[in-house]
């Protein structure tokens, strides 16, 4: 996240201020009920400096006198804490719904791959451990990850979205998954004729992909059969 000056008025409507800051467009608003539940905060006090002060700032109840340097550290901790809570919140039903709405609105951008035809993407972390890797963009159509298109997103910690979020969202909303039976591929050609070695590689890749899809379908059918027997 961008390092934002402490001169901003963060003591009132902090979440509105945070979400409105440039570079934070990927985040959704966390419900007060989720923030007020101590169970949802389990373990975060050990990961965030000035945890209680940071939480007070997020909840708009900060009434402590402190010098400018300490205040700046508390604000930095509040931004980090919100990100860590955000990673948990977007895995809940309510959080998935909010991120689904942002996805449908195109708030996360589109896939840079030409043959994906501007398919919308989702933010994803390459690690659930903070400060390990910046956020990336995942495209369900080509099943690959990309760097965010704008520099202001390059400093967002990927742990604020986590490694599981996109895949839970597509499980919750399976109709968002595009048809992958015949993925569109770019095939190099010379005067309209396919290059032999590349064409052979493409056929091999498509064959392996089809075999994998058949194995997955067979596994799902077997699991469904077991469930029916159990019932």
* Helix, strand and coil in the chain, % to nearest 5: 50, 10, 40
Q: What's the pLDDT score for residue 41?
A: 97
CATH topology of domain 13-176: N-terminal domain of TfIIb (2.20.25)
pLDDT in tens, 88-124: 999 999 999 999 999 999 999 999 999 999 999 999 9
Please write the tens of the pLDDT for every residue from 156-168: 999 999 999 999 9
Measured between alpha carbons, how far is 117 from 97 in angstroms, rounded to an integer? 25
State the chain's mean pLDDT as an integer: 87
């Amino acid at each position: 996240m961008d390092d934002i000056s402490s001169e901003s008025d963060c003591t009132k409507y902090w979440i509105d201020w945070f979400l409105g800051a440039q570079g934070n467009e990927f985040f959704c608003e966390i419900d007060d009920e989720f923030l007020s539940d101590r169970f949802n905060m389990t373990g975060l006090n050990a990961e965030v400096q000035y945890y209680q002060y940071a939480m007070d700032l997020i909840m708009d109840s900060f009434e402590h006198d402190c010098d400018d340097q300490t205040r700046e550290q508390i604000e930095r901790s509040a931004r980090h804490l919100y990100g860590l809570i955000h990673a948990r919140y977007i895995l809940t039903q309510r959080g998935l719904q909010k991120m689904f709405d942002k996805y449908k609105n195109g708030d996360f951008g589109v896939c840079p791959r030409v043959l994906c035809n501007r398919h919308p993407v989702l933010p994803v972390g390459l690690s659930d451990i903070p400060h390990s890797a910046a956020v990336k963009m995942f495209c369900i159509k080509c099943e690959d990850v990309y760097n965010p298109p704008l520099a202001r997103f390059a400093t967002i910690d990927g742990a604020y979205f986590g490694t599981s979020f996109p895949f839970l969202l597509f499980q919750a909303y399976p109709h968002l998954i595009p048809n992958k039976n015949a993925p569109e591929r770019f095939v190099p050609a010379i005067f309209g004729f396919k290059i032999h070695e590349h064409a052979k590689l493409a056929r091999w890749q498509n064959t392996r992909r089809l075999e994998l899809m058949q194995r997955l379908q067979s596994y799902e059918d077997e699991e469904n059969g077991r469930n029916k027997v159990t019932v």
